[in-house]
C-alpha cells in the first residue's frame, strides 16, 4: 500500500566503508535543507562480516595502482583529518611505508613512477640498506625498497563508526539489522521503491554500496565481481619486540614471489597485541580463494596459520611468534582491479560503488563524497573516468 511507504530524498543501502562515507557526505551537504536521508544495513556496522574490519588499513600516496588516484589520495588525507577533528578521535597515523620487491616493473618501480609524477617524498634503497635500517626484515640481493614517507594506517572500524555518528548528528537516519530485499527504479512515478524485511520506502535517489554482496547486481549488468577470502593474522614478536612499535616499524608491502605480496603493520596497540600481517595473492597465484558473501569459509584453519608462519620464518623471522588472533575478511575484485564509482548504467537516479579490489578503504571517504556529489549535483569535481561502469561491457556502453 503506497500510503504506508516512508519517503526519503536519498537512501544509502550498505553502510560499510563506502556507505558510511556516503551517508556522512549526504547528511553534511543536505543539512538544514529540509531533506531526508536514510542509511540501511543488514548488520550493525562496523561489523566483522564484510570487507571493513581488522583494526588497520594501509594508506599511501606513491600509488603503483595508477597515478590517477593521487589527487584523490591527497584529498583523502585532509578529509580523514577533518573527520578525526569533527569526531574528536584519532584513527589515522603516518608511519612511512615500504614497498619492497625486485626492480623490474614491480611495485617499487611503479610506486616510484607515480611518486615522481606528483613530486611525492620518497627514497629508494637496496637490500643492504633495508637490512641496516630495518633489521627485522631479511631482504636478499634482489630486493629493493621504496619508502613512501606519507604512508601509514587508518583504523577502518573507527572510520565507519565516526562517519555514521556524524551523519546522524547532521540529521540522517540509520537503520541497522534491516536487509534490503529489492529495489525498483522503474515502476514508481514518485521515485525508487526500496523494500526491506522491515519496511517499505520510496526514495528520490539511491546509493548502493553493498561491498561483496553486490556481486549479483553487477552480474546482471554483465560485470563479474570476484569476492575473495583473505585472512588477517596478529603475530607476537619473538625478539626485538620494541623494534615493531610504530615509531620504528613502518607499514610494509613486500612482493615476495610472483603474484604474492605479504603486508603488515606495526604493533600499534603495543607488542602484547602483536603486529597484523596478511597475504595479498593476485592474478593466478595458487593461494587465491574466491568465494561469495554467502558461502565464504569464516573459520581459520591450522594450515592457514602454518602457511603464514612459513613465509614469516623466511622474511620477518622475529614476527613468527604466537599467533594471537585471526580474522577472515573479503576483498571484492573487479575485472581490472579499479573500482566502479558511477551512476547505475540503467538508472540515473541510482549510484553504485563496488569492486574496490582490496585497496579501497584509504579513499573510501572520497568515494563517499563523489557518490554524494553525483547524487546531489549530477557530477563530481574529481576525475572519475577510471571508475566508469561502462568500461567493462559493450552492452553497457551502448546504453
- Which residues would be at the binding site for ligand FAD (CB under 6 A)? 13-19, 40-43, 45, 50-52, 54, 57-58, 179-180, 209-213, 230, 232, 278, 329-331, 354, 356, 358-362, 364
Which residue, 61 or 241, has its beta carbon nearer to ligand FAD? 61
Which residue, 115 or 241, has its beta carbon nearer to ligand FAD? 115
CB of 160 to ligand FAD, least distance (A): 7
The pairing of beta strand 347-354 with beta strand 340-344: antiparallel
CB of 363 to ligand FAD, least distance (A): 7
Q: How far is CA 149 from the centre of its chain?
A: 21
Q: Which residue is nearest to ligand FAD (CB)?
A: 16
Beta bridge partners of 98: 147, 252
CB–CB of 222/393 below 8 Å?
Answer: yes
Name which of 241, 208, 217 is nearest 322 in CA terms. 241
CB of 359 to ligand FAD, least distance (A): 5
Q: Which stretch of DSSP H or E encloses residue 226?
A: strand 226-235
CB of 7 to ligand FAD, least distance (A): 19
Separation between Cα atoms, residue 8 and residue 4, nearest integer Å: 13
Separation between Cα atoms, residue 200 and residue 98, nearest integer Å: 49
Separation between Cα atoms, residue 291 and residue 321, nearest integer Å: 30
Which residue, 22 or 241, has its beta carbon nearer to ligand FAD? 22
Separation between Cα atoms, residue 158 and residue 115, nearest integer Å: 29
Which residue, 15 or 316, has its beta carbon nearer to ligand FAD? 15
CB of 179 to ligand FAD, least distance (A): 4
Enter the C-alpha cell of residue 114.
607515480
CB of 48 to ligand FAD, least distance (A): 10
Which residue, 16 or 96, has its beta carbon nearer to ligand FAD? 16
What SS3 class is residue 71?
A: helix
Which residue, 61 or 232, has its beta carbon nearer to ligand FAD? 232
Bond preceding residue 46 cis, omega within 30 of 0: yes
Amino acid at each position: 500500500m503506497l500510503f504506508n511507504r516512508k519517503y526519503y530524498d536519498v537512501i544509502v543501502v550498505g553502510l560499510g566503508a563506502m556507505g558510511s562515507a556516503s551517508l556522512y557526505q549526504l547528511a553534511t551537504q543536505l543539512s538544514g535543507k529540509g531533506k531526508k536521508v536514510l542509511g540501511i544495513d543488514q548488520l550493525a556496522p562496523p561489523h566483522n562480516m564484510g570487507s571493513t574490519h581488522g583494526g588497520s588499513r594501509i594508506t599511501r600516496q606513491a600509488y603503483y595502482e595508477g597515478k590517477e588516484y593521487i589527487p584523490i589520495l591527497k584529498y583523502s588525507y585532509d578529509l580523514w583529518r577533518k573527520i578525526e577533528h569533527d569526531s574528536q578521535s584519532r584513527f589515522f597515523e603516518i608511519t612511512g611505508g615500504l614497498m619492497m620487491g625486485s626492480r623490474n616493473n614491480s611495485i617499487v618501480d611503479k610506486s616510484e613512477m607515480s611518486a615522481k609524477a606528483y613530486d611525492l617524498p620518497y627514497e629508494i634503497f637496496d637490500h643492504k640498506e633495508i637490512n641496516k635500517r630495518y633489521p627485522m626484515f631479511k631482504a636478499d640481493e634482489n630486493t629493493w625498497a621504496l619508502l613512501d614517507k606519507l604512508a601509514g594506517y587508518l583504523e577502518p572500524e573507527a572510520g565507519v563508526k565516526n562517519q555514521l555518528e556524524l551523519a546522524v548528528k547532521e540529521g540522517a537516519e540509520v537503520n541497522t539489522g534491516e536487509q534490503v530485499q529489492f529495489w525498483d527504479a522503474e515502476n514508481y512515478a514518485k521515485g525508487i521503491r526500496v523494500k526491506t524485511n522491515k519496511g517499505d520506502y520510496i526514495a528520490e535517489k539511491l546509493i548502493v554500496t553493498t561491498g561483496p554482496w553486490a556481486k549479483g547486481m553487477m552480474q546482471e549488468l554483465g560485470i563479474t565481481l570476484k569476492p575473495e577470502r583473505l585472512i588477517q593474522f596478529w603475530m607476537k614478536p619473538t625478539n626485538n619486540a620494541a623494534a615493531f612499535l610504530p615509531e620504528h616499524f613502518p607499514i610494509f608491502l613486500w612482493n615476495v614471489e610472483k603474484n604474492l605480496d605479504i603486508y603488515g603493520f606495526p604493533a600499534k596497540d603495543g607488542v602484547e597485541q602483536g603486529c597484523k600481517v596478511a597475504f595479498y595473492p593476485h592474478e593466478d597465484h595458487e593461494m587465491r580463494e574466491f568465494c561469495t558473501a554467502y558461502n565464504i569459509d569464516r573459520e581459520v584453519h591450522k594450515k592457514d596459520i602454518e602457511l603464514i608462519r612459513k613465509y614469516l620464518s623466511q622474511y620477518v623471522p622475529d614476527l613468527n611468534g604466537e599467533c594471537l588472533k585471526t580474522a577472515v575478511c573479503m576483498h571484492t575484485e573487479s575485472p581490472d582491479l579499479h573500482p566502479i564509482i558511477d551512476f547505475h548504467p540503467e538508472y540515473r537516479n541510482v549510484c553504485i560503488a563496488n569492486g574496490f579490489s582490496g585497496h579501497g578503504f584509504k579513499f573510501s571517504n572520497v568515494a563517499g563524497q563523489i557518490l554524494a556529489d553525483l547524487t546531489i549535483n549530477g557530477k563530481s569535481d574529481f576525475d572519475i573516468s577510471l571508475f566508469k561502469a561502462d568500461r567493462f561491457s559493450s552492452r553497457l556502453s551502448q546504453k
